[in-house]
């Protein structure tokens, strides 16, 4: 990626910063100040990844994509991007270094927040990259080719109109849609990108990464590393009331552990884990048991983070073990040559949030599931795993093994009941509709509720198909 800058610093008006702090205190009391270190961590990590990996202009990243997530904190923040050090440093104008955060970019492994570590220590974690490159001449999905030849019976005018609506503003709000890709009958039939990115731009999956870690667990079960019906291999839970929690219950978000899936405020478990801790799984494993395992659905990035740790420990325990396995056993098997899974400070996978793929590669992940784990003759995932992954949880019929399902059409009333999806924050989605042999990817930075918009996009696309 061509570097845009060598050193970029966001100017901050001291008067506005002081007024912002006063506003925060008056609005919600001094407790809101506790959100500042989460805000600096969020800004540092996501500006770092968005700039160094996606190549998005830092002003656009800061003003359109980062600031709305942590309002009104952006008025306080002093942001510095350094190309030479491959880092982003963020502090607030009032407390300065007290709540500062720094994220460090490692090519092929994305950005990591630095918690009591050095760049040299982080670099020492890295394995030698595994070379793999797609052929330019081959069509998608086997190669780097784009949209294929027109398919008979597809109304391309209606299809393009439906996609265009997915990029339009919702009343006075911009949807910030960045990419839409449509796959029908195993062929990429349409794609569109925002001006800031292109077909080679990797985009964060947010909680679509949870569907990835489910896939990783499936690959391990297929190979005999574990059985999801067994108790979860978590050393800290031995001889405690948590020792009977199964891996399957973690996949179903039904471990029974206390957790608040909030990014800010007094119960910001998710925000704390992602932006203030060096170990994504430790906080979750230490939470008290508040319900009988398997009985209560409680959506948790902590559970997905622990699943990533469990997978890594089965593979050997190091970042390199996870990296080589996911490249060999999954990504390269389905013609993905530029995936980036980010890791926490101690080298555990960010399996609740931090997988970055292009829109075309997210579509490949969806196509693998559409085709029941088979990749054009190679059974990458077993049919047994696909069945388990898509079976609704007893604690929530709309949720399976880290994948959303449409049981009784409760999630998407206007789509077939067999529809299932990878879903993430800010309306990231990979929608799979077996009845229509269809995969649709939508990526972006949206802040308004978009369930109706997603269904509108899908019904418009389906109406254009034969």
Task: Report the alpha-carbon distance of residue 254 to residue 303 in Å, rounded.
Answer: 9
Task: Report the alpha-carbon distance of residue 170 to residue 174 in Å, rounded.
Answer: 6
Task: Report the alpha-carbon distance of residue 192 to residue 182 in Å, rounded.
Answer: 9
CB 199 within 8 A of CB 358: yes
Give how far the C-alpha of residue 219 lies from the chain's centroid of Cα atoms, to the nearest Å.
Answer: 19
Task: Report the alpha-carbon distance of residue 204 to residue 359 in Å, rounded.
Answer: 10
- pLDDT by residue for the chain (466 residues), tens only, comes to 444 566 666 665 555 555 555 555 444 444 566 788 898 999 999 999 999 999 999 999 998 898 888 876 667 788 999 999 999 999 987 777 888 999 999 999 999 999 999 999 999 999 999 989 998 889 999 999 999 999 999 999 999 999 999 998 766 666 899 999 999 999 999 999 999 999 999 999 999 999 999 999 999 999 999 999 999 999 999 999 999 999 999 999 999 999 999 998 889 999 999 999 999 999 999 999 999 999 999 999 999 999 999 999 999 999 999 999 999 999 999 999 999 999 999 999 999 999 999 999 999 999 999 999 999 999 999 999 999 999 999 999 999 999 999 999 999 999 999 999 999 999 999 999 999 999 999 999 988 766 668 999 999 999 999 9
CB 128 within 8 A of CB 430: no
Residue-level length of the chain:
466
Residue 126 buriedness (CB in 10 A; 0-12 / 13-18 / 19+)? middle
Enter the tokens of residue 163: 């996609």
Enter the tokens of residue 146: 């784009």
The pLDDT of residue 1 is 40
In 3D space, the residue among 240, 321, 344, 220 whose CA is nearest the CA of residue 287 turns out to be 240
């Amino acid at each position: 990626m061509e570097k845009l800058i060598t050193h970029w610093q966001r100017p901050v008006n001291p008067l506005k910063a002081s007024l912002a702090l006063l506003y925060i205190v008056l609005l919600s009391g001094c407790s809101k100040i506790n959100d500042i270190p989460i805000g600096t961590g969020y800004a540092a990590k996501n500006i770092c990844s968005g700039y160094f990996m996606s190549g998005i202009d830092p002003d656009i990243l800061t003003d359109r994509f980062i600031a709305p997530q942590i309002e009104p904190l952006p008025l306080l923040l002093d942001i510095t991007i350094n190309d030479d050090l491959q880092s982003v440093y963020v502090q607030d104008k009032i407390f300065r270094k007290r709540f500062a955060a720094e994220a460090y970019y490692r090519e092929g492994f994305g950005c990591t927040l630095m918690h009591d570590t050095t760049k040299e220590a982080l670099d020492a974690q890295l394995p030698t990259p595994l070379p793999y490159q797609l052929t330019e001449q081959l069509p998608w999905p086997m190669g780097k080719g784009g949209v294929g030849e027109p398919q008979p019976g597809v109304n391309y005018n209606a299809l393009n109109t439906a996609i265009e609506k997915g990029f339009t503003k919702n009343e006075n709000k911009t949807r910030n849609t960045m990419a839409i890709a449509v796959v029908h009958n195993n062929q990429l039939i349409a794609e569109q990108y925002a001006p800031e990115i292109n077909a080679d731009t990797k985009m964060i999956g947010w909680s679509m990464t949870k569907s990835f870690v489910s896939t990783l667990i499936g690959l391990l079960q297929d190979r005999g590393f574990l059985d999801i019906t067994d108790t979860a291999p978590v050393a800290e839970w031995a001889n405690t009331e948590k020792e009977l929690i199964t891996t399957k219950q973690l996949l179903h978000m039904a471990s029974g552990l206390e957790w608040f899936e909030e990014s800010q405020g007094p119960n910001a478990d998710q925000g704390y884990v992602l932006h203030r801790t060096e170990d994504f799984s430790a906080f979750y494993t230490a939470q008290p048991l508040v319900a009988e395992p398997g009985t209560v659905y409680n959506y948790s990035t902590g559970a997905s983070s622990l699943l990533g740790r469990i997978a890594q420990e089965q593979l050997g325990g190091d970042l390199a073990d996870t990296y080589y396995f996911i490249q060999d056993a999954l990504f390269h098997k389905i013609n993905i040559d530029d995936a980036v899974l980010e890791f926490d400070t101690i080298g555990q996978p960010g399996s609740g949030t931090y997988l970055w793929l292009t829109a075309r590669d997210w579509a490949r992940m969806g196509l693998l599931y559409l085709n029941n784990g088979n990749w054009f003759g190679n059974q990458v995932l077993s049919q047994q795993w696909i069945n388990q992954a898509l079976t609704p949880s007893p604690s929530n019929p709309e949720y399976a093994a880290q994948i959303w399902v449409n049981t009784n059409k409760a999630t998407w009333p206007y789509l077939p009941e067999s529809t299932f999806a990878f879903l993430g924050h800010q309306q990231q989605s990979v929608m799979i509709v077996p009845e229509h042999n269809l995969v649709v990817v939508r990526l972006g930075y949206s802040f308004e509720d978009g369930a109706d918009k997603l269904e509108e996009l899908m019904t418009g696309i389906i109406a254009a198909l034969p």
